[in-house]
Structure formats: C-alpha cells, structure tokens
Structure 1
Amino acid sequence: MPIQANLSNDGQVLTIRVSGRFDFGAHQDFREAYERSGLTPQRYVVDLQDTDYIDSSALGMLLLLRDHAGGDSAMIQIIHCNPDVRKVFAISNFEQLFAIE
C-alpha cells in the first residue's frame, strides 16, 4: 500500500508514510489518511523515506493537509526526503511552510 497512516497511542501525532510515487494517483489515499482518523492530532509527520518521486499535485496535497491541520499554526514535519524530493521542496519554497528534515 503506497500510503500508510499511524496515529500515536496518545492520539497526538499522526504519521503518514508515502511509498513509491507521490503524485495524483495517491490523492484519495493521502486525503483519507488524515481525514479518516476522526481525531485532531497536535502534530503531523509525513515520512517520505520510501518516496522516489514527487510532483506538483503532491505539493498541492501537502498544502491541503496544512489547511486541514490549521494553516499557519499547523505543526507538520516532513522527514526522510531523498535529494531529488528535497530539491522539489527547495524550488517550491516549501521550507517556508513546513519543517523539512
């Protein structure tokens, strides 16, 4: 499964792991990953360790997650980016909107 979501035991952190291509084909699964929990975690972590490709639709999905999580006050961390994915984030100035590690 390309998108997996795990809520921490205390319900405070939702980790969404994306595998393979992060593109429009992942839209529905990605959205369900953060909407289906029915809870409002304090923090979101998007783990891209197994992501080998990202496109502009994925950037849009991350912006939708940001809006869902509270906009400017959202606590979203994007972790384990490979150099190609990191370059897309840099070109798009996503470092201004997300904590990228």
Structure 2
Amino acid sequence: MAVESEVSPDGKKLTIVIKGRFDFGQHQKFRDSYERFYKVPQAYIVDLKETTYMDSSALGMLLLLRDHAGGDESQVTVINSNPDVRKILAIANFDRLFDIN
C-alpha cells in the first residue's frame, strides 16, 4: 500500500500513483501527496494502474482532490483503472466529474 506523487519538471502537472488498496487507510498519505506543494499544479493525474481495490472513502478522497484543484474548473484525470475500479467509478457517476481514461 503506497501513495506516490511526482510533479512534472515545469510544475504544471502532478501525478499521484495509488498502489494496492485505495481506502480510508490511505487518507492522510493521499492528502499529503497533493497538499504539500507550495504551488498548485494546473492538472492532476491519478494513476490507478496498481490499485487493487477502491471503496467509498476513496471516492470521497477523489472529491476532496477535485475541490482542492478548483472544483468545476479543475483538471483531474483518472487513468489506468482496472475493470472493477472502473465499475465503481461508473456507478458513482464520476465520469461526470473527472476525465476517466
């Protein structure tokens, strides 16, 4: 279980990688992954390639990230979700709030 983040060289894009379970146990690590930066990036990428499980608290954490990034004006993309995670995102209608690839 890990949350890793990396800022692009120009500082405009932050990529957050979730490994393992994305649940309440990751809450503080996930928040720290985007709140620790002085300059707010223009775009956020949440990479779920190595995410094996996602629960409702993870959905809430994604909403908190969206609010932090600017709400309706935010540019948050969720990428590389497996079929089970993609189904959870679809049931929650997150495709209306996020770019999901």
| TM interval, short-chain normalised | over 0.9
User: SS state of the match for residue 29, structure 1?
Assistant: helix
Gaps of 5+ in 2: none
- Runs (4 or more) in structure 1 with deviation over 6 Å come to none
Separation in structure 2 between the aligned mates of residue 50 and residue 39 of structure 1, nearest angstrom = 27
% identical aligned pairs = 59
Q: In structure 1, what is the Cα distance between the partners aligned to 2:74 and 2:96?
A: 12
What letter matches 1:91 in structure 2? I
1:13 maps to which residue?
13
* 3-state DSSP of counterpart to 1:32: helix
Q: Does 1:88 align with 2:88?
A: yes
Q: Which protein has the bigger strand share?
A: 2
Corresponding residue for 1:44? 44
Structure 1: gaps spanning 5 or more residues: none
How far apart are residue 38 of structure 1 and its match?
1.5
Local SS of the residue matching 1:16 = strand
How far off is 1:39 after superposition? 1.4
Write the distance in 2 (CA, Å) between the matches of 1:26 and 1:85: 16
Q: 1:80, 1:2 → 2: CA distance? A: 16
Superposition RMSD on alpha carbons, in Å? 0.7
Q: Secondary structure at the match of 2:4?
A: strand
Aligned ranges 1:14-93 → 2 under 5 Å: 14-93=14-93
Cα distance in 1 for partners of 2:18, 2:29 equals 10
C-alpha displacement of 1:56? 0.2
TM-score using structure 1 length: 0.98
Letter in 2 for 1:38: Y
| AA partner of residue 11 (structure 2) | G
SS of 2:40's equivalent in the other structure is: coil
